[in-house]
A and B are shown apart, each in its own frame.
Chain A
């Protein structure tokens, strides 16, 4: 426990032996599926001609919406998502026709033979147009504390502005994939690259018009997901299952990279308008936010994402009077969806922009302005939605990172460099992270497990979470080993399977280990109680006058021992046949629900989160003011994971999350043309960070001696929170740009800060100086 063991698949990864869906061995009857999608952003479908495609040799099925036996509906929350478009298309990339063919090449050939006629309708392709045309997915949401409107008027200084954040493509290395194998009669086993096997199972069943007990969904591992396979995997699984049912043959769909980028949703772009009131010191008294998310063409998870954006509008700061209004716009783009942070990053970008602007306006150091606004200890520690910020690590982490990064000395060096150089400017920034852990839809905070011990002492652990690279199964392995007092070689974590653990929540909200780890612990506690009873009785047989008590039985070091009589012990593996002979079950289901959370969505008040995870980052960049290029010179990260279950994996999550955030903040630009066609649909034009883009000096540390009483083995969730560490780099770039105007003028800025954004902003500053 609490040590860095390698990822449980690491050896398989490096040997090419880890099996992803596209690698699974199948028989020669396998068919390749393909979805033909809309080339129009918004149009009436006048006709679809599939006759020639159907007649092509090697084609086994061509399906339309009318061929769907169950419901042509697959919205996970709101039922506004048809599985296949029927009369109208509402975005480019929306599936209309499904093809199953003997080879992928034949499927492409068949696609070319399909003729779809459209009649174009007006389309809405961005947030501002949606606002103008009053196109929204749902009524506005609101969260408030105090009276922001009045307090803004009273404030010494008032700041008004807006900030835009861009979309982000998940760019998991493994594109969306599913393999369906038909069984007897109606049975289908779907091997799906999904973060949410239970929902994938439910949607397949609904689309096929079957009860859920006919469908098994299994997930061994995903080649990355990042939220992109929380609901988006359902599409591919439903299409594959439809083709499988129609042909009664195994069918596989693996999306081609460009199709994946074109068809699936991305991180929600946001437009955030703000007003902030503050005093001479930079202390904020009131803030009003209007957040507009681009939800895309259907609801998907947009309302939950909007909610989390609103819940993170405070970032790490105590704002006495706060009003947050959130709206999800309906546009003719593929429905935007979950992505690491789930709205949190967008919400925080608004507040961090305010802090940055206040510091520039007051000509104060921005870290200092942040510090005086942090949530307090024992006071000023209630969020704008009523939850207390317990075990606040912000002041401690600030103190530590200011010192370890040598912040103030480097601030001087940066200013000095800038005063001497015209064409290169440096920038430095510190930003915090406070991220709420739990699904904000409270009932989702539950998990199940099934732990089977076999007679040879080997243990098979099933749980509802899915492995997407984050190391969940490794942590589960460590938790199970520690709880059972055996070494990890006794244990194996099974592929996630809906027939083993049913009705699970998505592996999302960073809560995979928190929830599933607890459910596994619960199952093991049940088993230990049963085993202890049997073993105590066995021990007692030889000591009828001094019996062993079940309560004294301890599981440790691969042994089962009576702690009162340590000479009474038995090896774990040897004990299991005894338990079986005593007719006691060695299989137990475990369950967990997060206690003491509750949240009223209507009033926007309550305790949505089990606890908060914290982080802090100091980043320094160099900007070439003639080209807009920047270089990440040094980045220091301090991150809070409580008592780390596996520091090696946690640091991997922190560094990987930060770099993914840097991508969103810098080079990852998503653009659509005026017809709603995605321009950046392949890695040729969509640029995620490469090895050359990481900080030249990259220092990561985990906060020490900060146990978390609220989660498994005093640990904290990791996954999402580190993504937002990247704001330090984003604002360091802005600091460097601002230096061109000697920090006298507020530079134009947006997210991502591409070299185009940077250079354009610099040119405007230069023109102002001239």
Chain B
């Protein structure tokens, strides 16, 4: 075990010892802004909704090559960037012989009038930089996807879209290519230390296990510790509620949790996979899960948030939960005592309560492979289509025999204290003709099943209407 956090910034390995200045739950944003050298990164909301704090993280992939991802630095605790390269807005402009040379994404942001007040601009430039490094000549859809997590209140976005399209045409080549070999050797140097990071001081304990065995051991020893992986939810307790987290187990560095695979009948997804990774993995195989993730948060959030975290937080809205319920998935729970698998329908017990025991970790999910004769679709209703939490969400799976319903699953989020299937309506429709008349009768049963709440997102009546209509929508698209 060691106490020193190491990462690359400004072309150098930075070593941080936690002291009165920085604690393990200091965010990367606050760390950067605490000095005078990196104040280009901005705080707009401290909750991952605006992207003004976007930085780019370069990390080694399985082939020891660098991959570049945009993160919301306001949601990232410092230890999470251990062994990675942190790139900030200050690193993009070069100065050669007294002349400033802008990065291509900066150059086009200037020429297209992509900035007005300039406060969101560093974050936008960093998102565009991550796109520049990962995709050449991206489609408008891709550009929009990358920019969804960056709010701009001035421009109306059009010039920024233009700037992105104009910039990303050089095959990702820039000054960072010249430094890559050196950066990689620095990251490998950090990695030589195979001990895990562990900080214990008077007020705080923070452990970052590197293996599953170590993680399970810690979990048993510290049943009360807060578990994080992407921390996109837990970080809000620090950044918004100013809570002090006294004991944290950070699972973000356990590579065993980031695996995927499966067998003839099932797909396996590791709990530590980021939702962006899951999205890429399941695009062909589990289209409804893919659609769920397309409208989940933003690129920056999905690159941090993990599948296990989303399941473990068991929010009533759930996002992936209704979809996994419709897919009849099961959750893999592991402890030092052994492994057990719980069907999704039995995993959530109550409001933010799950089957997970205090010595267990969610290590993955098993999802039955998509059957060709089964239709599965996900729907989300939110005030804004993207980067918004669902007001109501639903996932339906349907198997027809001719025009008769052989099997149907209807799982809803946002309608009760837990994500929930509507078994009354499922039972009613099973064996019936898949017709508008039957569907409309089933809609009444959905209405009877739920008594939703009114809150900041919408009124209860709207939730009920939308929940019923989603079944009609599903019917209209599958009839």
Choice from A15, A172, A628 contacting B106 with Cβ under 8 Å:
A15
Any chain B CB within 8 A of the CB of A47?
no
Q: In the complex where A173-B151, A222-B117, A682-B47 touch, is A694 in contact with B40 (Cβ < 8 A)?
A: no
Chain A residues near B148: list those with CB within 8 A: 690-692
Q: Which residues of A3-19 are within 8 A (CB) of B?
A: 4, 6-7, 9-19
Chain B residues near A223: list those with CB within 8 A: 42, 117-119
Flag B58-90 by CB within 8 Å of A: 1 or 0 each: 000000000000000000000000000000111
Q: In the complex where A626-B470, A683-B45 touch, is A173 in contact with B50 (Cβ < 8 A)?
A: yes
Any chain B CB within 8 A of the CB of A118?
no
Whole-angstrom CA separation of A690 from B116 in the bound complex: 16
Chain B residues near A694: list those with CB within 8 A: 156-158
Choice from B50, B106, B125, B458 contacting A683 with Cβ under 8 Å:
B50
Flag B445-476 by CB within 8 Å of A: 1 or 0 each: 00000000001111101100110011011001
Flag A203-232 by CB within 8 Å of B: 1 or 0 each: 000000000000000000111111000000
CB closest chain-A residue, reference B384: A687
Q: Which residues of A82-111 are within 8 A (CB) of B?
A: 105, 108
Any chain A CB within 8 A of the CB of B387?
yes
Contact between B118 and A754 (Cβ–Cβ < 8 Å)?
Answer: no
Interface size of B in residues (CB-CB distance below 8 Å): 76
Q: How far is the CB of A461 from chain B (nearest CB, A)?
A: 20
Any chain B CB within 8 A of the CB of A537?
no
Contact between A755 and B117 (Cβ–Cβ < 8 Å)?
Answer: no
Contact between A13 and B151 (Cβ–Cβ < 8 Å)?
Answer: no
Q: In the complex where A691-B144, A756-B459 touch, is A173 in contact with B153 (Cβ < 8 A)?
A: yes
Contact between A627 and B379 (Cβ–Cβ < 8 Å)?
Answer: yes
Any chain A CB within 8 A of the CB of B329?
no
Chain A residues near B441: list those with CB within 8 A: none
Contact between A683 and B47 (Cβ–Cβ < 8 Å)?
Answer: yes
Contact between A20 and B89 (Cβ–Cβ < 8 Å)?
Answer: no
Choice from A10, A11, A760 contacting B461 with Cβ under 8 Å:
A760
Contact between B151 and A656 (Cβ–Cβ < 8 Å)?
Answer: no
Q: How far is the CB of B102 from chain A (nearest CB, A)?
A: 7
Contact between B121 and A656 (Cβ–Cβ < 8 Å)?
Answer: no
Contact between A221 and B118 (Cβ–Cβ < 8 Å)?
Answer: yes
Whole-angstrom CA separation of A171 from B158 in the bound complex: 19
Q: In the complex where A18-B118, A173-B151, A648-B113 touch, is A658 in contact with B156 (Cβ < 8 A)?
A: yes
Q: How far is the CB of B150 from chain A (nearest CB, A)?
A: 7
Whole-angstrom CA separation of A688 from B39 in the bound complex: 25
Contact between B47 and A684 (Cβ–Cβ < 8 Å)?
Answer: yes
CB closest chain-B residue, reference A111: B242
Any chain A CB within 8 A of the CB of B147?
yes
Q: In the complex where A687-B383, A687-B384 touch, is A11 in contact with B118 (Cβ < 8 A)?
A: no
Q: In the complex where A173-B52, A226-B153, A687-B384 touch, is A469 in contact with B117 (Cβ < 8 A)?
A: yes
Q: How far is the CB of A688 from chain B (nearest CB, A)?
A: 6
Chain B residues near A657: list those with CB within 8 A: 156
Any chain A CB within 8 A of the CB of B348?
no
Contact between A626 and B89 (Cβ–Cβ < 8 Å)?
Answer: no
Choice from B45, B465, B472 contacting A682 with Cβ under 8 Å:
B45
User: In the complex, which range does the number of interface residues on chain A fall in?
Assistant: 35 or more
Choice from A6, A16, A469, A669 contacting B41 with Cβ under 8 Å:
A16
CB closest chain-A residue, reference B111: A6
CB closest chain-A residue, reference B163: A14
Contact between A763 and B465 (Cβ–Cβ < 8 Å)?
Answer: yes
Q: Which residues of A354-377 are within 8 A (CB) of B?
A: none
Chain B residues near A17: list those with CB within 8 A: 40
Any chain B CB within 8 A of the CB of A192?
no
Whole-angstrom CA separation of A689 from B157 in the bound complex: 9
Give the residue among A108, A225, A256, A626 with the most B Cβ atoms within 10 A: A626
Choice from A15, A688, A692 contacting B93 with Cβ under 8 Å:
A15
Whole-angstrom CA separation of A656 from B116 in the bound complex: 9
CB closest chain-B residue, reference A14: B106
Contact between A759 and B466 (Cβ–Cβ < 8 Å)?
Answer: yes
Contact between A13 and B113 (Cβ–Cβ < 8 Å)?
Answer: no
Any chain B CB within 8 A of the CB of A698?
yes
Any chain B CB within 8 A of the CB of A39?
no
Choice from A23, A423, A471 contacting B473 with Cβ under 8 Å:
A423
Choice from A14, A105, A171, A627 contacting B110 with Cβ under 8 Å:
A14
Contact between A698 and B116 (Cβ–Cβ < 8 Å)?
Answer: no
Any chain B CB within 8 A of the CB of A745?
no
Contact between B109 and A468 (Cβ–Cβ < 8 Å)?
Answer: no
Contact between B102 and A698 (Cβ–Cβ < 8 Å)?
Answer: no
CB closest chain-A residue, reference B50: A683
Q: Which residues of B190-233 are within 8 A (CB) of A?
A: none
Any chain A CB within 8 A of the CB of B159?
yes
Choice from A7, A12, A423, A652 contacting B476 with Cβ under 8 Å:
A423
Any chain A CB within 8 A of the CB of B92?
yes
CB closest chain-B residue, reference A646: B113
Contact between B49 and A684 (Cβ–Cβ < 8 Å)?
Answer: yes
CB closest chain-A residue, reference B469: A626
Chain B residues near A685: list those with CB within 8 A: 383, 389, 456-457
CB closest chain-A residue, reference B146: A691
Choice from B49, B240, B383, B473 contacting A626 with Cβ under 8 Å:
B473
Q: Which residues of A687-709 are within 8 A (CB) of B?
A: 687-694, 698, 700
Whole-angstrom CA separation of A688 from B148 in the bound complex: 12
Any chain A CB within 8 A of the CB of B155?
yes
CB closest chain-A residue, reference B150: A691
Whole-angstrom CA separation of A423 from B469 in the bound complex: 10
Contact between A629 and B385 (Cβ–Cβ < 8 Å)?
Answer: yes
Q: In the complex where A628-B466, A683-B151, A692-B386 touch, is A173 in contact with B156 (Cβ < 8 A)?
A: no
Flag A620-661 by CB within 8 Å of B: 1 or 0 each: 000010111100000000000000000011011001111110
Contact between A669 and B120 (Cβ–Cβ < 8 Å)?
Answer: no
Q: Which residues of A711-770 are within 8 A (CB) of B?
A: 754-756, 759-760, 763
Flag B102-139 by CB within 8 Å of A: 1 or 0 each: 10001001110111111111100100000000000000
Contact between B49 and A683 (Cβ–Cβ < 8 Å)?
Answer: yes
Contact between A224 and B115 (Cβ–Cβ < 8 Å)?
Answer: no
Choice from A11, A16, A108, A624 contacting B90 with Cβ under 8 Å:
A16
Contact between A688 and B121 (Cβ–Cβ < 8 Å)?
Answer: no
Whole-angstrom CA separation of A660 from B52 in the bound complex: 18
5 tightest Cβ-Cβ pairs between the two chains A and B: A16-B40, A469-B117, A223-B119, A13-B118, A16-B89
What 10 new A-B contacts, CB under 8 Å, besides A649-B113, A691-B157?
Answer: A10-B118, A15-B92, A20-B119, A108-B242, A172-B119, A628-B462, A660-B156, A684-B49, A688-B153, A759-B469
A–B Cβ pairs within 8 angstroms, 24 of them? A7-B113, A9-B118, A13-B109, A14-B115, A14-B122, A19-B39, A224-B117, A226-B153, A468-B117, A469-B118, A469-B154, A627-B466, A627-B470, A655-B156, A660-B153, A683-B151, A690-B157, A691-B147, A691-B150, A691-B152, A691-B157, A691-B160, A755-B381, A755-B383
